[in-house]
A and B are shown apart, each in its own frame.
Chain A
Amino acid sequence: MATPAETSAVRRAARAAAVLVAAGTVAVGLVALVHDLAEPRIEASRQAQHLAQLTAILGDVTYDNDPLSDIVSVHDPELLGSEEPLVAHRVRRGGEAVAVLVNAVAPDGYAGPIRLIVAVDAQGRLLGVRVVEHRETPGLGDLIDERRSDWIHGFDGRSLGDPPVARWQVRKDGGDFDQFTGATITPRVIVRAVRGVLEYVARHHDELFGAAPAPGGPGTP
């Protein structure tokens, strides 16, 4: 037989446990409710944000497909900077591919990998480049961000032949692209990453600019 003191201690513990369980249940229920309300909006705004980002990189190129669903997987650790397969979005007008938006990584940024999206047209010219994720130093390396400076627009209209491949460097290394005062590493790795994408697109041109499902297309070059 338990003494009255023991019984009362057990009762207290049981009551405390019950309160805790009840609080947890109510809280989880509430969060689940908010989640169900918010989830469709979160997904929709994520898609809209992504599409707006892609459209902004394309500049004045118009299209009539949905680049978010018209995608190809690209994989080249050396040129695209990622061990993982990345996504490229095709942009079409009247069924014909006019541009691709290639996700790429500059793995050796000053403060870790820098993620970019590079838009290339069917002639291999750059339509635009944007840095989408980075941790570079504020005020120095972060000038690669379009919101911080227009440095990134220096790539607009360039291609593998313009400037010649040997001059796809920052000025300090004998190339044609500006570096920043106090920050050379960041622009250097971006220039290298963009050149890598251009080379990748040149090598895989038919595959990237092919017809929608591309059944039995011409073999790889």
Chain B
Amino acid sequence: MDARAILREGLLDRNPGLVQLLGLCPLLAVSNSLANALGLGLATLGVLIVSNLVAALAGPYLPREVRLAVFVIVIAAAVTSVELAMAAWWPGLHDSLGIFLPLIITNCLVLARAESFASRQPLSSALLDGMAMGTGFLVALLLLGTVRELLGSGSLGVGLEMLLGPEFAGAGWQLFPQSNGLLLALLPPGAFVLLGLLLALGNWRAAARKHVAAEPAGVTDTAA
């Protein structure tokens, strides 16, 4: 697979959050604000890159019977390291993400990419796939986080100083008072509804494109 195809798959055609619906649990639980979404998205991206790298390097040499088990160990070690690092250097964000940080281990996206893609591909493709899929997941999180924070809290980017450092205290905009926010958007059911709307939008776009593409394709077929 060439680089463009890998990027396209991760970001759009097979976006892990919006198309494959992998890792729904953290996607819906943590996307209640932009800051949380960004933090979890970046952590997942980092873990995906590390696990894809290790899978590509070690995959071909691992006995088939224990390959999955080894990947699980690698992912667990990577996630634990990220969690410790976050507790040390970004404690506010660590507290805010809570249990969903260690739960990256159980995000099937990470294991699926290591097993079904990275372990059968050259190092460069595996690395690129990790970045593309991780960024795709990050984009899905940011999209939900932005909409939910805007609708639910009437703000955008509040709490980003947890990630960027205390110099950024007071960052973000409060567009209207939180009390006027749509509570549903902050709760998991609201996240589900929003995700459903995003999926519908994506499917509608895909269907429209197929419709447009169908005619010229038919013409070429007859010509050939």
Contact = CB atoms under 8 A, between A and B. Distances in A.
Contact of A31 (B81, B88, B187): B81
Nearest to B87: A42
B107 interface: no
A156 B152 CA distance: 29
Nearest to B64: A16
A166 interface: no
A117 to B, nearest CB: 16
A19 B88 contact: no
B85 interface: yes
A117 B93 CA distance: 22
Interface residues of B, number: 27
Contacts, number: 73
B88 A138 contact: no
B175 to A, nearest CB: 16
A49 B181 CA distance: 30
Given A20-B69, A138-B186, A49 B91 contact: yes
Interface string B41-75: 00000000000000000000011011001100110
A138 B80 CA distance: 29
Interface in B75-98: 76-77, 80-81, 84-85, 87-89, 91-92
A42 B94 CA distance: 11
A6 B68 CA distance: 24
Most buried by A among B63, B88, B91, B181: B88
Given A20-B69, A27-B73, A27-B77, A139 B186 contact: yes
B63 A27 contact: no
Interface stretch (A33-41, A118-126, A208-216): A33-41
Interface string A4-39: 000000001101110110011001101100110111
Given A17-B66, A20-B69, 4 more contacts: A15-B63, A38-B84, A138-B183, A143-B179
